[in-house]
Amino acid sequence: MNSTTVVGYATNDGDHLCCDCGDDTGEPLFCGFEVDSPAHCAECGCLIEGQSLTTDGRDYVAGKLVDADAPTPTLDAWADLLADHAAEEEDEDALLCYRLRSAIHSVRSAGVAEDAIAPLVDASESLVARLLER
């Protein structure tokens, strides 16, 4: 993909549509179009490929990742988007926080005894707290 690749369409209502749901009656969105928050298709909900995050967009996603207690498919997609556009240490820290909590969530979901993972949880939360103090 490059900056001449159409990755979706913008409607007159300000919505975004992916290439599968939109048509060329909308304003084309080119690869690399910038957003202040992740752009999802208004029809199917998919994350529109090829978008770029502004500084505000990166801050928005980083904040959502840090605040998340458990992973979701949407947050996973946002984490991948932020990983592609991480520009500051805070972005990397937010990703690390999210990935650590996601991993612990997975271990818990697998039914591992809480006693067995307590040291991991404690170490992870200490690291997350230290990262968030920066």
Contacting positions for Zn ion (CB under 5 A): 18, 21, 41, 43-44
Closer to Zn ion by Cβ: residue 21 or 95:
21
Closest approach of Cβ 19 to Zn ion, in Å?
A: 8
Closest approach of Cβ 61 to Zn ion, in Å?
A: 20
Sign of CA dihedral 123, 124, 125, 126: positive
Closer to Zn ion by Cβ: residue 43 or 76:
43
Closest approach of Cβ 26 to Zn ion, in Å?
A: 12
Closer to Zn ion by Cβ: residue 43 or 90:
43
Query: Using only C-alpha atoms, what is the Rg of the chain?
Result: 18
Contacts from 29-35 at CB under 8 Å and sequence distance 24+? 30/3, 30/4, 30/5, 30/6, 31/1, 31/2, 31/3, 31/4, 31/5, 31/6, 31/7, 32/3, 33/7
Closest approach of Cβ 118 to Zn ion, in Å?
A: 43
Torsion from C-alpha of 33, 39, 40, 41, nearest 10 degrees: -50
Closer to Zn ion by Cβ: residue 44 or 70:
44
